[in-house]
Structure 1
Amino acid sequence: TEQGIMATPHAQRSAAELRVRLTPSFDMFPIVELIDEIESALKTPVQATVKREDEQAFAELNGANLMFCEDAGRRIQTALNKDDRILDFWARCTHYESLHPHNAVAVVTKGIEGGYVAGAGAPVRLELSRT
């Protein structure tokens, strides 16, 4: 553009919903570690509030890590497959489209026999499950 601003059409708001089945080898549910693991895989941490002076840096970080929902799903899948505490998982990544009349959605699973399947429907925001 004339202002030297690069357009980023895939920088819309996104959300990831997860279901995990964990090994019984821990005393407390590692929610903070799990969130950190996912944020690290996606390269862009969740920002509940951003100060105006930090907004540009946050936008640049997001702009440097553009991805489709399928890319986000694969990154989450790779990260969770490496975590020995996780027996099974289901993750849905949704990009809330601003240019199209529909959202973009990708669902990934661990793919184990008898485990979560992609068409399992809408999950609760957090499901604690020990097997």
Structure 2
Amino acid sequence: MTQNPFDALGGGGGFDMNALLAQAQQMQQQLEQAQADLAEATVEGSVGGGDVTVTVTGTGELAGVTVKPGRFDGSSEDDLGDLGDLVVAAYRDAKSRADALAAEKLGPLAGGLGGGMPEGLGGPGGLPGGGNPTGF
């Protein structure tokens, strides 16, 4: 007498493949909705007391840069170099906020995936191959 190893998964009637497929489809739909929500969401990062503000989407795509008037006149290389550094720092601030938002939205959907997002899902550091453009 051989016991079916799938009996423990499906309450006496065996393994219910249709229920498993329905659950997987529901999770896929939830993931797609969360990704769409992230693509539409925006977050801001700023530095220098608001001298430079960067807006990125929830997926980390750069959407805008704002520089307070009168802060940089662009008449010297040092001034322009400082502005460039502030834009990069503001982007990193905004990107870290976008990563936190992505973790919040996508994290519950990745519960059983080993604690991290699979490559290419757009989660924190969500570039294909796991790259992170912020350098952090």
Question: Shared fold by TM > 0.5?
Answer: no
More strand by share: 1
More helix by share: 2
Query: Relative CO higher for 1 or 2, CA cutoff 8 Å, sep ≥ 6?
Result: 1
The alignment's TM-score, normalised by the length of structure 1, stands at 0.29
Higher Cα radius of gyration: 2
